[in-house]
Structure 1
């Protein structure tokens, strides 16, 4: 079974990744920072927002695909995927604008809870 719903999310997150990567590059230009962050807070926040995206989205998509291919209903896959999208957008915004806050914790939960849910649903489907 091809995880068709997950593939839509793969495409969307790929496009988000390109935008976030380009924003890191754009943040390097004003101070001509070629490597690392050289103490530039704006660049550091861009880099961490990008890195956190890269650290979490692969596992989110893997668990989403596993849940989908193991038989989880489409509405659960879509709902979980949309929660992750909202969480990632909120997380990016919070890191870029404030750096820290309760919304950052909420945004991480909006990423991690669907991952846990998708993993649990996969195990449930495999045991059935």
Structure 2
């Protein structure tokens, strides 16, 4: 395997990018409906959509960076796919949970636990591979 070739990370980057676009369009569509260009003007639905989108933008890039570092250091494909799948499921769960007017904390918490778990696991994996290799 060529250690400079990423095979697994691009799959999850692409899937997460599509989710990011979906979340972006949800914000744009709500802005059109309530005619608010900036901020949220007190619209609770717009506020939720903006926060779901922003939270995704805050956590996913760093998660993908760590996943790519693990892959570049030769982590097993099965482990990388596990991390990627948990990250994707976590972001879907978080987006769903926070998007609900009557917020379902179970989905929100599951999403954040999954995201934090992937960040921690990929950070530790990357660190282990860096010092042991």
* Greater displacement, 62-71 / 28-37: 28-37
Selected match of 1:81 from 84, 98, 102: 84
Selected match of 1:51 from 25, 37, 54: 54
Tell me the alpha carbon deviations over residues 46-99 of structure 1, each in whole angstroms, 9 at most, x when there is no partner: 000000000000011000001111111100100111001111001001111034
- Who is 2:121 aligned against? 117
Q: Distance in 1 between matches of 2:108 and 2:19?
A: 18
- Who is 1:96 aligned against? 99
Cα drift, residue 102 of structure 1: 3.3
* Greater displacement, 115-124 / 46-55: 115-124
Q: Distance in 2 between matches of 1:11 and 1:107?
A: 19
Tell me the alpha carbon deviations over residues 12-53 of structure 1, each in whole angstroms, 9 at most, x when there is no partner: 111111111011001112221111000000000000000000
Give the length in aligned residue pairs: 128
For structure 2, the residue ranges without an aligned partner over 5 or more in a row are: none
Cα drift, residue 100 of structure 1: 5.6
Q: Distance in 2 between matches of 1:124 and 1:26?
A: 44
RMSD of equivalent CA atoms = 1.1
Query: For the Cα contact (< 8 Å) 2:96–2:107, is it kept in 1?
Result: no
Q: Distance in 2 between matches of 1:116 and 1:110?
A: 10
Q: TM-score, normalised by structure 2?
A: 0.91
For structure 1, the residue ranges without an aligned partner over 5 or more in a row are: none
